[in-house]
Chain A
């Protein structure tokens, strides 16, 4: 099955991105496909490669970059929400890309299920 995932909260402040990541990993392990992960609202902060958590903690941004590299997942950051929050191409972590909100609607159309993680 093809899953779309929407993440509406930033890393660390909220568990949303962690839950979505564990969900995505479990779905992949079961042979499902992640069509796209779309980052919206403060969720765009997940794409910031400048984030530096303490060494004994997980690196949420890096986790997404790695999972995307391993499984060819499309990580899309909403351009309007990103610009509002100062997330630009030059600070994007690997595998993230900035695009329009249409990509979220398109995810809804193409994926078999859309799972939302938010506040």
Chain B
């Protein structure tokens, strides 16, 4: 079984991303949406943690939420894949279930 984890809050404000990363198993996927997209940016206090997560999990970020916040797509941590809402749907289909870290 593989899970698509979704996170929607800023890693600078809550521990949701951290909690998700501690529980996410090898081969699962993590999708950053809404305020969680800040976690996808390079050169931040948590970029290294996200880079570490990429070794075991696939990390995705919702492009429209990056754009809405003025976050440049080229500054996203290398290895994090940018998807649109259709990509979000595809990820939900490809995984056995979706778990929101709300």
Contacts and interface: CB of A to CB of B under 8 A. Distances in A.
Interface footprint category on B: 10 to 19
Contacts of A115: 6, 92, 98, 100
A29 interface: yes
B86 interface: yes
Q: Main SS of the interface on chain B?
A: helix
A119 interface: yes
Interface string A80-94: 000000000000000
A113 B92 contact: yes
A19 B8 contact: yes
Interface string B26-68: 0000000111000000000000000000000000000010000
B102 A119 contact: yes
Interface stretch (A20-28, A49-57, A68-76, A99-107): A20-28
Nearest to B87: A26
A98 B87 CA distance: 32
B85 interface: yes
A109 interface: no
Interface residues of A, number: 21
Interface string B1-15: 000001010000000
Most buried by A among B84, B97, B98, B102: B102
A3 interface: yes
A113 B88 CA distance: 13
Interface of B: 6, 8, 33-35, 64, 84-86, 88-90, 92-93, 97-98, 100, 102
